């Protein structure tokens, strides 16, 4: 997985209630989406009312934190080919190592994840405070992690395992109250004749792209949307190489036929905007005002398992990333890469458990929150290297963040002030009460309204070394903050 930056094709479209088409009322009873049998622009296909979109996106906006799982046959070589390390991320080993199709497909015979336990995986996500899971149903290598009639190179037919892990995960998620989504590589498919970033390297890969779309991609998308009950709740596309409107629309219309209320990201291609922006391995300095967005990020440096990648992010980094993202109105999709035995690496589990401890106390400052009402705490922008070593701009300010709910501010303090005071610049709403979430007694903190905002008096010591959260109850449902004070 690696993000391909796409030029967005944004076309104006107007939807009138009397437009010809098929009206479908969703389960929430909100304004129905209007679909048409024939159209010739992505904007017309994606058009919907704000009420319908808000209803579709409601659970996702509430969740804020999810688990990404990159798992497939690439976990067998685990970053090595002919006993030599292959540079790059683990799931790209076939491409980066230019491994012939027949040779790569033979790895499936060694893929027997007998230690896979769907309930344990879901429990790890839930205990970390995650509300949804997105797993690779098929990555760029073309190996299907489900029983597919469109390609017999799949985990049920081509491996000794002979089980459908997506079905087991769906059952486990259903029991645990966790949403399940599927990643599907719609364009790149190095074994079934789809696109190949950088060009194809094996004569066995030669196939017409439209033939691949019609006979593999569309049928498989239909399969993953039809066999798992209420799931998937999310369809996560990736790297839309060679995806024109004609090809993309076949997939889009298949999805809307079967799952009209599903959430899709912005990587389908062909001019489709999708529902969510997807910054990868980075957190944008100001978020995406006016758009739903989700940062996906690895726990170490790879998505798919590599046996020698031990560059793990600290719990502090993970938590502050989560808070930073939520303070800008986004979601955090944090990846694990299980082994070929079916185990999530222990360093991943340890960090997820540590994140979960913080979330049990402070989760209300993340779930269902909106972006900061201030902005000055983000500071300017500074250039750093993202997870791929590329330049990116991030927020320069790193002392505190703010998330919001109606009538409530949450102030997440990273660097506890030596003065034991914290100023909230420009806050004009009357403060009714302020207290630390880590304090079970909810002891009131002293505060003072000034000409410049509100100043909080803090204890001498931070209750949490990573991020201490102050809840502030306001008299106003929407916080009043004067501009130009930050």
What pLDDT, on the 0 to 100 scale, is given for residue 485? 57
Give the closest residue to 288 by CA, choosing from 343, 248, 234, 325: 325
- Separation between Cα atoms, residue 47 and residue 250, nearest integer Å: 17
Give the closest residue to 343 by CA, choosing from 124, 180, 143: 124
Q: What is the mean pLDDT of residues 457-477?
A: 98
Task: State yes or no: pLDDT of 30 exceeds 50.
Answer: no
Other CB atoms within a 10 A radius of the CB of residue 136 amount to 28
Alpha helix (H) residue ranges in 128-271: 165-176, 209-212, 218-226, 245-258
Q: What is the pLDDT of residues 356-370, one digit of tens each?
A: 999 999 999 999 999
Say whether 376-474 and 39-365 share the same fold.
no
What pLDDT, on the 0 to 100 scale, is given for residue 40? 82
Q: What is the pLDDT of residues 214-247, one digit of tens each?
A: 999 999 999 999 999 999 999 999 999 999 999 9
Confidence of residue 22 (pLDDT cuts 50, 70, 90): very low
Q: What is the pLDDT of residues 310-323, one digit of tens each?
A: 999 999 999 999 99
Domain ranges for the chain: 39-365, 376-474
Q: What is the pLDDT of residues 377-416, one digit of tens each?
A: 999 999 999 999 999 999 999 999 999 999 999 999 999 9
- Separation between Cα atoms, residue 99 and residue 196, nearest integer Å: 13
Number of helices and strands in the chain (H, E) = 11, 21
- DSSP character for 445? P
CATH class of 39-365: alpha beta
What pLDDT, on the 0 to 100 scale, is given for residue 27? 39
Q: What is the pLDDT of residues 332-388, one digit of tens each?
A: 999 999 999 999 999 999 999 999 999 999 999 999 999 999 999 999 999 999 999
- Separation between Cα atoms, residue 132 and residue 147, nearest integer Å: 23
- Separation between Cα atoms, residue 191 and residue 205, nearest integer Å: 6
DSSP bridge partners of 423: 455
**pTM greater than the 0.85 cutoff:** yes
Give the closest residue to 243 by CA, choosing from 13, 68, 9: 9
What pLDDT, on the 0 to 100 scale, is given for residue 167? 98
Q: What is the pLDDT of residues 159-178, one digit of tens each?
A: 999 999 999 999 999 999 99
Q: What is the pLDDT of residues 286-311, one digit of tens each?
A: 999 999 999 999 999 999 999 999 99
CATH class of 376-474: mainly beta
The mean predicted confidence, pLDDT, of the chain is 93
- Separation between Cα atoms, residue 358 and residue 405, nearest integer Å: 19
């Amino acid at each position: 997985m690696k993000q391909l930056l796409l030029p967005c094709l944004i076309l104006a479209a107007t939807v009138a209630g009397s437009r010809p088409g098929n009206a479908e009322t969703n389960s929430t009873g909100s304004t129905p989406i209007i679909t048409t049998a024939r159209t010739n622009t992505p904007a017309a296909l994606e058009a919907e009312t704000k009420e319908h979109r808000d209803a579709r996106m409601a659970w996702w906006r509430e969740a804020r934190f999810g688990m990404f799982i990159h798992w497939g046959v690439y976990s067998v070589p685990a970053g090595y080919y002919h006993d030599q390390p292959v540079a790059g991320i683990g799931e790209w080993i076939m491409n980066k190592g230019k491994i012939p199709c027949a040779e790569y497909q033979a790895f499936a015979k060694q893929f027997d994840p007998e230690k896979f336990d769907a309930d344990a995986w879901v429990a790890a996500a839930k205990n970390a405070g995650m509300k949804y899971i997105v797993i690779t149903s098929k990555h760029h290598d073309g190996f299907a992690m489900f029983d597919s009639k469109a390609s017999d190179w799949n985990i049920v037919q081509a491996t000794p395992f002979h089980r459908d892990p997506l079905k087991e995960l769906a059952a486990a998620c259903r029991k645990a109250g966790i949403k399940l989504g599927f990643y599907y590589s719609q364009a790149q498919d190095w074994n079934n004749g789809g696109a190949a970033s950088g060009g194809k390297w094996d004569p066995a890969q030669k196939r017409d792209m439209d033939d691949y779309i019609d006979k593999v991609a569309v049928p498989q998308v239909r399969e993953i949307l039809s066999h798992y009950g209420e799931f998937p709740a999310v369809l996560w596309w990736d790297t839309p190489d060679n995806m024109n409107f004609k090809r993309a629309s076949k997939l889009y219309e298949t999805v809307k036929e079967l799952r009209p209320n599903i959430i899709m990201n912005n990587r389908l291609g062909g001019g489709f905007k999708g529902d969510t922006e997807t910054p990868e391995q980075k957190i944008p300095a100001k978020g995406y005002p006016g758009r739903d967005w989700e940062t996906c990020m690895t726990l170490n440096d790879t998505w798919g398992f590599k046996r020698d990648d031990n560059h793990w992010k600290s719990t502090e980094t993970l938590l502050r990333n989560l808070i930073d993202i939520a303070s800008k109105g986004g979601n955090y999709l944090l990846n694990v890469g299980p082994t070929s035995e079916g185990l999530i690496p222990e360093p991943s589990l340890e960090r997820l458990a540590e994140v979960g401890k913080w979330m049990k106390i402070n989760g209300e400052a993340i779930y269902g929150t909106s972006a900061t009402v201030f902005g000055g705490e983000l500071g300017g922008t500074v250039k750093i290297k993202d997870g791929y070593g590329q330049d990116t701009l991030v927020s320069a300010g790193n002392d505190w963040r703010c998330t919001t709910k109606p009538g409530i501010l949450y102030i997440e303090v990273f660097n506890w002030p030596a003065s034991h005071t914290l100023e909230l610049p420009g806050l004009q709403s009357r403060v009714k009460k302020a207290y630390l979430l880590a304090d079970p007694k909810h002891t009131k903190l002293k505060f003072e309204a000034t000409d410049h905002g509100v100043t909080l008096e803090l204890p001498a010591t931070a209750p949490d070394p990573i991020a201490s959260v102050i809840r502030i109850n306001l008299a106003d449902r929407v916080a009043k903050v004067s501009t130009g004070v930050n």
